[in-house]
Each structure stands twice: as C-alpha cells, then as structure tokens.
Amino acid sequence: MPIDVARARRETPGCAHVAHFNNAGAALMPQSVLDAMRDHLDREARLGGYEAHDAARDAVEQAYDAVAALLHAHRDEIALVENATRAWDMAFYGLPLTEGDRILTTPASYASNYIAFLQRTRRTGARVEVVATDEAGQIDLDALRNALDDRVKLIALTHVPTNGGLVNPAAAVGQIARDAGIPYLLDACQSAGQLPLDVGVLGADMLSGTSRKFLRGPRGVGFLYVRRDFLDRLDPPLLDLHAATWTAPDQYELRPDARRFETWETNVAARIAFGVAVDYALSWGIDAIWARVQPLAETLRERLRTLPGVHVRDLGRIRCGIVTFHTDAVEAAVLQQRLRAGDINVSVATPRSTLLDAEGRQLPDLVRASVHYYNTEDEIDHLCTALADIV
C-alpha cells in the first residue's frame, strides 16, 4: 500500500517544526520511538538501572527480532552495539589478515572504513586496493572479477555512499564473492530503512547498519549481522564477560551467537527505542518506503537542476534518497546555515568523508539533502525556493 504521508507526519512531532532533509544524518523519530525511550528512562529513574533492565528484557529482546526481520536473518546472527562504525569495526578487525593479503573496496568507501583499512594494512602488511567504477559510478563488476585471486581475503562494499545518490549493486557483488569463496562485508549504514535488505539475496557474510538514519531510531545504537556459519571465522577484537564466559583461570569460551561482538554495558533505553523504530518501519513496509523515497528524491533532483548555478552531483543507475549538490555562488556550509535559519535542515558532505571519490571527481563541499517518506513535495518546493533566494 502507498505510504499515508499525512499519518506519517502526524506521528512525527518534528514535522511541525522543520522541513527535515537530513535523514541520511539523523532522521526525525516517530512519537512511538520517543515514547519508548522516555518510558525506559522513567523506569530507570524509578527502579534503578539494573532493575529497570530486568523489567524490560522482553522489549530489549524484541530489538533483535526486529532487526532479524528487517534483514531476513536469524536473531542469533544479530549484535547490537554503540553505532554503525563500531559494528563494522567488530567484523573487519575480527577478520584474520597477514602480509600480502588483499582487501578490495571502491572509491566510495566511507572515511571511517578506509582509515581502518589503512591502520590494518600498516599493522599486518596486507594491502587495500580500489576496484574501478563503471560509467554510472558504481563498482565495475567485471573489474571486480578480474581482480580476484587467492590472496583476496575481503571484499568490502559501501552499499550507499554518504556523498550522493548512488546505490551500488550489492547483490551482484555478493554473488561474485560467494562464487569465489571470499568474505564479503557490506556497509548498509545509509541503505537500511530506505530500501529493502535481504542478507540471503545480498550474499553478505557481514553487514553493518545504524539506528539514527533512515530507520528513524535514536542515536547511539548500531547493528551487526554475521552469518551463522561465518561466526567462527572471526575473532572478536574486544571481549568482556558478556561476549565470553571465563571458564578457568587461563580459559574463556565465546558466546555461540553474534552477541559475542557486544559488550555488557549499553544504553538500554536506546536499544528498546531502536527495536520500536525498526518495527515501525516494518509496519509501513520497506518496499513501500522505497517506492516513496526514490521518486521523491528524483523530484528534488529535477527541481534543483532548474535552478541557475546549482549542480547536482549524484551518480548511479539506481539512485536513492540522498541528493547532493553545490552552487557557484555560495559555499555549502553557508547554505546549510542560511537554510537552517529558515527551519530547513540539510547537511554538508565534505571531501574528507569520501576522499577517493571526491578527489577523483574534483568535488567541493556538497550540500546533502536526504529525503524520507514523511517529506512532501511542498517541502521540496520550500527548499528550492529558499535556495534560489539565497543563491
């Protein structure tokens, strides 16, 4: 069923105050998510933190079920951690690498991921290699196939880059990785919540994501999926008494599930609210969300292209809800500030966030306007009118 935009806006308090085009940064939470977080904080204030956790265990466990449903995975394949970067790190740093091993990635890799590549290559003698892109800007599948040999130990792909509308062909990459028997780590930070994700179709051995972006949950929560039969191929880089059991003075045993990548201390209220956010997204239907977000973003791109001196810089055969542009007259940071003064939220994507892509395409700082299903065509008109006035 199509999204009931009016209902979605009624259930989103922030819609009464701002035109929010920063959903790729942190989307507006629905009232049910806000209520869930407040309720648990009230419970902690009344009962105490440990006691409140005990009283809310069913709600905490529901978050695992919700993420498993979102990804078409099993609940024991899900870990909940502090953020998407920590989720990605726990998988990446857990993968064994030695001198001469090769990591394949793309120019669209996010800075946090690429910095981790650089750190591990310095420590281990492995090397990171960038696979070429095709004429549409997505990973070149033939180039990927041609790059494979027995020293490739990881294919790491950013599904949706932070600095544009590109959607990489993640399932096709997964098939190549599966056929070659190469571990595949998918960063779904910007795709989870705006387009369908099925780990079986994607072929991902590991997948990371976040609460705060298109899933509309609170900040401070991320998730990691690790395929059941891949768990024992990773050595978690950090352990505590939650991730493992101390069985003898010189021995420990890892948990049998993906929670071996978690730590005991956590923000319980945020986890509960995140589970509510995922269930809320599933109640609309991810297919329905994608069917709303994608054309809304194309409408924004078309409107921006009509404005003199505005340059849209998005790539991809398939484009998502992230729209990036710059202008001839005004710097991105100034545009962001001026728009915010008019209660319009956008963000700025700097070259430092995706350095290889930015240098390759000679990108300046970009304004990033990311739409969600609760945004409206009237808000797009409002944004473009304000932008025209500023420029």
pLDDT by residue (tens digit) across 185-204?
999 999 999 999 999 999 99
> Terminus-to-terminus CA distance in the chain, angstroms?
39
Which residue pairs, CB below 8 angstroms and at least 24 apart, start in 205-209? 205/177, 205/230, 206/91, 206/230, 206/234, 207/71, 208/84, 208/87, 208/88, 208/91, 209/84, 209/87
Identify the helix (H) or strand (E) that includes residue 108. none
CB 259 within 8 A of CB 266: no
Bridge partners (DSSP) listed for residue 22:
370
Please name the fold of domain 32-283: Aspartate Aminotransferase; domain 2 (3.40.640)
Q: What share of the chain is helix, strand, coil (3-state, %, to 5)?
A: 45, 20, 35
The beta strand positions in 206-290, using DSSP E, are 206-210, 222-226, 244-248, 251-254
Question: What's residue 52's pLDDT?
Answer: 98
Tokens of 339: 């728009």
Q: Residue 310 pLDDT > 90, yes or no?
A: yes
Q: Residue 1 pLDDT > 90, yes or no?
A: no
Alpha carbon distance 335, 342 (integer Å) = 11
Give the pairing of strands 127-130 and 152-158.
unpaired
Alpha carbon distance 105, 128 (integer Å) = 7
Tokens of 228: 């059941």
CB 163 within 8 A of CB 354: yes
- % of the chain exceeding 90 in pLDDT: 100
User: Tokens 């505590």 — which residue?
Assistant: 240
Question: What's residue 176's pLDDT?
Answer: 98
CB 293 within 8 A of CB 371: yes
Tokens of 302: 């078309």
> Could you tell me the sign of the dihedral formed by the alpha carbons of 62, 67, 73, 78, in that order?
negative
Alpha carbon distance 178, 196 (integer Å) = 20
Sequence-distant (6+) residues with CB within 8 A of 185 are 88, 91, 92, 95, 154, 155, 156, 157, 204, 205, 206, 207, 208
Alpha carbon distance 108, 117 (integer Å) = 14
| The residue type at 309 | G
Give the pairing of strands 244-248 and 206-210.
unpaired
Question: What's residue 192's pLDDT?
Answer: 98
Residue 152 pLDDT class (50, 70, 90 cuts): very high
CB 185 within 8 A of CB 233: no
Residues of the chain with CATH 3.40.640.10: 32-283
CB 324 within 8 A of CB 314: yes
User: Tokens 């609309």 — which residue?
Assistant: 284
**For 285-314, what is the mean pLDDT?**
98
| CA angle at 357 for the pair 20 and 322, rounded to the nearest 5° | 20
Q: Does the domain made of 5-29+285-390 have the CATH classification 3.90.1150.10?
A: yes
Nearest by Cα to 231 from 124, 94, 104, 97: 94
Alpha carbon distance 373, 297 (integer Å) = 10
Residue 158 pLDDT class (50, 70, 90 cuts): very high
Residues of the chain with CATH 3.90.1150.10: 5-29+285-390
Question: C-alpha distances in angstroms, 61 versus 71, 274, 275?
Answer: 16, 11, 8
If you average pLDDT over every residue of the chain, what do you get?
A: 98
Residue 218 pLDDT class (50, 70, 90 cuts): very high
| The residue type at 251 | Q
Bridge partners (DSSP) listed for residue 81:
222
Taking residue 60's Cβ as centre, other Cβ atoms within 10 Å add up to 18
Q: Residue 60 pLDDT > 90, yes or no?
A: yes
